[in-house]
Amino acid sequence: MEFMPRPRPPFLHREITRHGAVTWYFRLGKGPRIRIRGEFGSAEFLAAYRAAWTGDSTPQKSPTMSVESLAWLISRYRNSRAWTALAPATRRQRELVFKKVAATAGAEAYTNVTRQSVMAGLDRRGATPFAAKTFLKALRGLFRWAAENSFIERDPTEGVRIPLPRTDGFHSWTEDEIAQFEARWPIGTRERLALTILLYTGLRRGDAVRLGRQHIKDGIITLRAGKTGTQIIIPVLPELAAIINASRTGDLAFIAGKRGRPMTKESFGN
């Protein structure tokens, strides 16, 4: 049997069928479940696992995930307290970065990653500076953790900076634009409910989509911010209460999708 690193590689899930058989599946975030066949740790199993991770429909016959590889380091990082301490949205964002990194350089030795390697990765993303910034943040979290835990002697991202283009930020709606939206979406629609929650609470989108009746007591909203962990206390103004009471809401969150299910902040933003 070939080496299978411990702890379990990322995105790999173990299930037991009703007949007592052990099965393995690969799943990244909310993506499709991909069955990983073969005996756990075998060459066939590793080939199927790597193919699922890279999106290759024809897995190679002799893949490896050695303890010196970048893919192995990523798997260790994803089982660390540093990783679990990140906000769920941050983890989802960085998982996408690591998936691409593993697909192109996962078999490379992580000790070979240098400042020049990082800068080259940023240069390849030069046309999309915000994607480059996300790439750098993901690598910095990985290698800072690796340095703190003596996997490497020095963090190759140390001192690397990427300036972002200056923008005017998001446009703030005028009173006339708010009135146009309210005219288009009357009281009772989920669009009007969403706007009213944002207007009368000032919550970030990630907190707005979590807000539900369980957060309201005696006319007061009490909610811990997902991004900072800060306790938020907001009075429920009469206008907000009236719209909530007149709207169809989700079970655990006021703002819900068309099927009544809670939304992620990304889908809500879209």
Digit-coded pLDDT (tens) for 96-144: 999 999 888 888 899 999 999 999 999 999 889 889 999 999 999 999 9
**Helix runs in the chain, H state only:** 43-54, 70-77, 81-84, 88-105, 115-124, 129-148, 175-184, 190-201, 205-208, 238-245, 265-269
Number of C-beta neighbours around residue 117 at 10 A: 15
Does the pTM of the predicted model rise above 0.85? no
User: Where exactly are the structural domains of the chain?
Assistant: 1-64, 66-164, 175-269
pLDDT tens sequence across 165-220 = 777 778 889 999 999 999 999 999 999 999 999 999 999 998 999 999 999 999 99
- What average pLDDT does this structure show over 235-254? 92
Architecture of domain 175-269: Orthogonal Bundle (1.10)
List of residues 6+ apart from 228 with CB closer than 8 A: none
- Please name the amino acid found at residue 220: I
Residue 62 has what pLDDT?
A: 43
* 3-state secondary structure string across 226-238: CCCCCEEEEECCH
Residue 250 has what pLDDT?
A: 87
Residue 106 has what pLDDT?
A: 87
Residue 239 has what pLDDT?
A: 94
Residue 61 has what pLDDT?
A: 47
Q: Cα 25–11–207 angle (5° rounding)?
A: 120
- How many Å apart are CA 212 and CA 229, to the nearest integer? 17
What fold is seen in the domain 66-164?
DNA polymerase; domain 1 (1.10.150)
| Residue 201, both tokens | 């609470």
Establish whether domains 66-164 and 175-269 are of one fold: no
Residue 67 has what pLDDT?
A: 63
Alpha-carbon 168 to chain mean position: 26
